[in-house]
Amino acid sequence: MQAQQIWLRIRGGRLREVFPHDGEVVVETEERIERYPGCWAFPGFVDAHGHVVFYGLELGQPSLRSCRSAEECVEVLRSWAPNRGEWLLGGGWDQEAWTSAEFPSAELLDAVFPDIPVALRRTDGHALWVNSEALRRAHIQDDTPDPPSGLIVRTATGKPTGVLIDAAAELVLRCIPAPSSEEIRQAIRRATAQLLRFGITEVHDMDVDPCWVPVFEELARAGQLPLRIQSYVRAQHGEWDVAGLLPTTGEFFQLRGVKFYADGALGSYGAALLEPYSDKVGHQGFLFFNAETLKEAILAALEVGWHIAVHAIGDAANRQVAQVFHALRLRGIDTTEQRLRVEHTQIVHPDDIPILAEAGCVASVQPLHCVHDAPMARRRLGNQRRSIPYPWRSLLAAGVPIAAGSDFPIEPPNVLAGVAAFCLRRPFGEVAPWIPEESLELEEAFAAYTNWAHYAAAVDDRRGLLLPGYDADVVIVDRNPGACLPEEVSNVRIVAVYVAGVRRWSTEDTRVPA
Ligand SMILES: [Zn+2]
């Protein structure tokens, strides 16, 4: 995938004709001609794995992302009042980025918030830091057992510390009032306005709560979604079925697939590994399903027409999903009609890569996770395992297509930073690349954010290329990334973004997202 200088003739939201055009990009619609001298055009970028509502909600809550200690988090929170009923919610903390690298405690929060409940998501969404009032409301005490697939972190004497991992976080989360429809609407508006600024014209929105769907549908009907959303509805406990949802079609909003979790995340020791964690003796994480149950749940979803996305981080989870997908393929599932996606595909044993390929599935990967999490991943994994972390080149070489995303709000939805991460695999703050043989070429990295990503949602026959008949989703940039070194790609500026032939954002646009 290369940037082009091109004349785009758009009619009815689609590319009618395209001509090579030296020195500029020209966008010609029924109403006007817009010229971008010196600029280059790509098909609109896709973020193939994000969380629109959580991103939008987080944009309206305290962010602990840049904090370097638990104390600094508390300082940021000090000026905030409850933002959801009586609760104060926030997120983005990451003990791995702190000088102490240790989990925080409830006491720190209690000193400032003795009376109101506080709940703060870890950056990966797989752990929750809460104060004592939140523990009290969730009835979590010394003798509360760990729920299956979850962990209440405790002191040596068995007292809950205030950090809850995976299913244990649910004990608190279910006590927090759900956001109102109006809050969801505002969150979607904030998120989509922000996504456009990164050149994103389409999102694969993962783990969508069925009660958000009417809000998305209403915004789509009113023409108020500025970009396209392929929605993958929650399926872990059959939520799509309970809510009576089925796949839909639509230009800007489609219920496309369902999303399962095979395991948790590496940062919070929830990812399921074939061998124990190198920095936590005897612990291998959790598989959330046995293979047969997962297969049956996926079959039920396939039968009514859903595409399938399954989160798998650890090598044990990737093995389970590879085998389940492979078994489904042997049963005659047509992956040209209904895609089978592995979300994250993060740590994969080399034996399982050909199985993923034979199963006909797509790997949905997040390059910024690799460069951000490398120091933590190296501690968790040690250097004795055969499994490959972030095995992009190995997957491609075996014939597994790659779709790229950011997992926003966990990482920023910054496509150009993602492209650089694909090519350089250089962990933040380090000079040397990490496992450089797994990096991608620049053209492959852009393909993973454009036509390969559209392949993952099976809309690649009408989006992802600048060709006549394709949807006029276009991003215009200020220079040719193909002439840049990978180190320079992050300096490329997004100039304008078109979805369905309408300019949705440009550098002239000074609107601040509501
Ligand atoms: Zn995610």
Summarised one tens digit per residue, pLDDT across range 216-255 is 999 999 999 999 999 999 999 999 999 999 999 999 999 9
Q: Based on the fold, state whether residues 38 and 130 are members of the same structural domain.
A: no
Q: Based on the fold, state whether residues 411 and 488 are members of the same structural domain.
A: no
Would you state the pLDDT for residue 513?
46
65 neighbors 123 (Cβ within 8 angstroms): yes
CATH code for the domain in which residue 329 is found: 3.20.20.140
> How far does the centroid of ligand 1 lie from the alpha carbon of residue 308, in Å?
14
Q: In what order do the strands lie in the sheet with 502-506?
A: 40-43, 474-477, 494-499, 502-506
Query: Does pLDDT of 123 surpass 90?
Result: no
Residues 6+ apart with CB under 8 A from 64: 73, 76, 77, 90, 91, 92, 93, 120
Q: Which residues of 448-465 are buried (b: 16+ CB within 10 A; e: fewer)?
A: bbbbbbbbbbbbbeebbb
Q: Based on the fold, state whether residues 212 and 287 are members of the same structural domain.
A: yes
CA–CA gap between residue 223 and residue 322 (Å, rounded):
39
By residue count, the chain amounts to: 514
20 neighbors 40 (Cβ within 8 angstroms): no
> How far does the centroid of ligand 1 lie from the alpha carbon of residue 408, in Å?
7
Would you state the pLDDT for residue 512?
47
> How far does the centroid of ligand 1 lie from the alpha carbon of residue 80, in Å?
27
* One-letter amino acid for residue 128 of the chain: L
CA–CA gap between residue 199 and residue 406 (Å, rounded):
13
Arithmetic mean of pLDDT, 289-314:
97
Would you state the pLDDT for residue 514?
40
Query: Does pLDDT of 200 surpass 60?
Result: yes
**Residue 102's pLDDT band (cuts 50, 70, 90):** very high
Q: Which of 173, 198, 220 is the last residue of a domain?
A: 173
Arithmetic mean of pLDDT, 284-298:
96
> How far does the centroid of ligand 1 lie from the alpha carbon of residue 405, in Å?
9
Q: Based on the fold, state whether residues 191 and 153 are members of the same structural domain.
A: no
Residue 57, domain member (yes or no): no
> How far does the centroid of ligand 1 lie from the alpha carbon of residue 207, in Å?
8
CA–CA gap between residue 10 and residue 508 (Å, rounded):
21
Parallel/antiparallel/unpaired status of strands 362-365 and 340-344: parallel
Arithmetic mean of pLDDT, 102-108:
96
> How far does the centroid of ligand 1 lie from the alpha carbon of residue 330, in Å?
28
Q: Scanning the structure block, which residue is given the tokens 């929170």?
A: 77
Q: Based on the fold, state whether residues 152 and 196 are members of the same structural domain.
A: no
**What does the mean pLDDT of the chain come to?**
95
Q: Which of 151, 173, 195 is the last residue of a domain?
A: 173
Residue 11, domain member (yes or no): yes
Considering its fold, how many domains does the chain have in total? 3
Output DSSP code: residue 141. -
> How far does the centroid of ligand 1 lie from the alpha carbon of residue 165, in Å?
16
Query: Does pLDDT of 194 surpass 60?
Result: yes
Query: Does pLDDT of 126 surpass 90?
Result: no
Query: Does pLDDT of 96 surpass 90?
Result: no
Task: Give 3-state DSSP helix, strand, coil % of the chain, rounded to 5.
Answer: 30, 25, 45
Arithmetic mean of pLDDT, 285-300:
96
Residue 401, domain member (yes or no): yes
Arithmetic mean of pLDDT, 464-468:
97
Would you state the pLDDT for residue 510?
56
Q: Based on the fold, state whether residues 335 and 264 are members of the same structural domain.
A: yes
Q: In what order do the strands lie in the sheet with 253-261?
A: 45-50, 200-208, 228-234, 253-261, 307-312, 340-344, 362-365, 402-404
261 neighbors 170 (Cβ within 8 angstroms): no
Q: Measured in whole angstroms, how far is the alpha carbon of residue 354 from the centre of its chain?
A: 25
> How far does the centroid of ligand 1 lie from the alpha carbon of residue 70, in Å?
24
Would you state the pLDDT for residue 505?
96
* pLDDT tens per residue across span 474-504: 999 999 998 888 889 989 999 999 999 999 9
Residue 299, domain member (yes or no): yes
Percentage of the chain beyond pLDDT 90 is 91
259 neighbors 235 (Cβ within 8 angstroms): yes
Arithmetic mean of pLDDT, 132-158:
94
Arithmetic mean of pLDDT, 130-140:
97
> How far does the centroid of ligand 1 lie from the alpha carbon of residue 125, in Å?
8
> How far does the centroid of ligand 1 lie from the alpha carbon of residue 49, in Å?
6
Q: Based on the fold, state whether residues 196 and 309 are members of the same structural domain.
A: yes
Q: Which residues of 51-90 are buried (b: 16+ CB within 10 A; e: fewer)?
A: bbbbbbbbbbbbbbbebebbeebbebbeeeeeebeebbbb
CA–CA gap between residue 47 and residue 384 (Å, rounded):
33
Would you state the pLDDT for residue 248?
97
Residue 50, domain member (yes or no): no
Domain ranges, residue 445: 179-456
* R_g of the chain, CA atoms, integer Å: 22
CA–CA gap between residue 475 and residue 416 (Å, rounded):
12
Would you state the pLDDT for residue 511?
52
Percentage of the chain beyond pLDDT 70 is 99
57 closest CA partner among 95, 80, 91: 91
470 neighbors 14 (Cβ within 8 angstroms): yes
* pLDDT tens per residue across span 321-375: 999 999 999 988 887 889 999 999 999 999 999 999 999 999 999 999 999 999 9
> How far does the centroid of ligand 1 lie from the alpha carbon of residue 50, in Å?
6
Arithmetic mean of pLDDT, 7-18:
98
